[in-house]
Amino acid sequence: MAKFRYRMQNILNIKMKLEDQAKIAYGIANRKYQEEQQKLQSMLVRRIGYEKRLRDMMEGELDLKAVHNAREAVNSMRILIRRQMVEVHKAELELEDARLALSNIMTDRKTHEKLKERAFDDFKKELRDTEGKEVDELVSYTYNAR
């Protein structure tokens, strides 16, 4: 019996390896995005704490130096938060790029798998046709031999 051999199997193997690499890259980009989001959230919480501390200092007896330092801390946190928002946006763009690359590579792999399936179907059809011819020849030989 004949054995099926897909002539572009090495290309399909390469596509699968590329897909694995793209999945890893996507995972790394996703993890970086999540880390940047977490940093931003912690900075927002810290800023809220600084603002609360500033409001508490404004009540009662005023220590101007402490109030000035608290305002500076709030302003510094706002600047850091803006920078972190830029980092989150960069990470989000990298994540989207990785997602698109993964999507394209998956499409290529699926295309090659469909081609392999079609080639296998063609192989099975040829095999059936060949077996049918052999059976016909055998029947006709047996009939003519009588």
Global confidence as pTM: 0.77
Cβ 50 vs Cβ 70: under 8 Å: yes
74 domain residue, yes or no: yes
Residue 63 structural domain = 9-145
CA distance 23 to 31: 12
Residue 4 lies in a domain: no
Q: Is residue 78 assigned to a domain? A: yes
CATH of residue 45: 1.10.287.1700
Q: What is the pLDDT along the chain (146 residues), one digit of tens a residue?
A: 678 999 999 999 999 999 999 999 999 999 999 999 999 999 999 999 999 999 988 887 888 888 899 999 999 999 999 999 999 999 999 999 999 999 999 999 999 999 999 999 999 999 999 998 988 888 887 777 76
The Cα 50–Cα 73 span in angstroms is 7
Asked if residue 35 is part of any domain, the answer here is yes
Per-residue pLDDT at 129: 92
Q: Looking at residue 144, what is its pLDDT?
A: 76
Residue 2 covered by a domain: no
The answer to whether residue 1 sits within a structural domain is: no
Residue 108 within a domain? yes
Cα separation, 36 vs 43, in Å, equals 11
Q: Is residue 93 part of a domain?
A: yes
Total number of domains constituting the chain: 1
28 vs 19: CA distance, rounded Å? 14
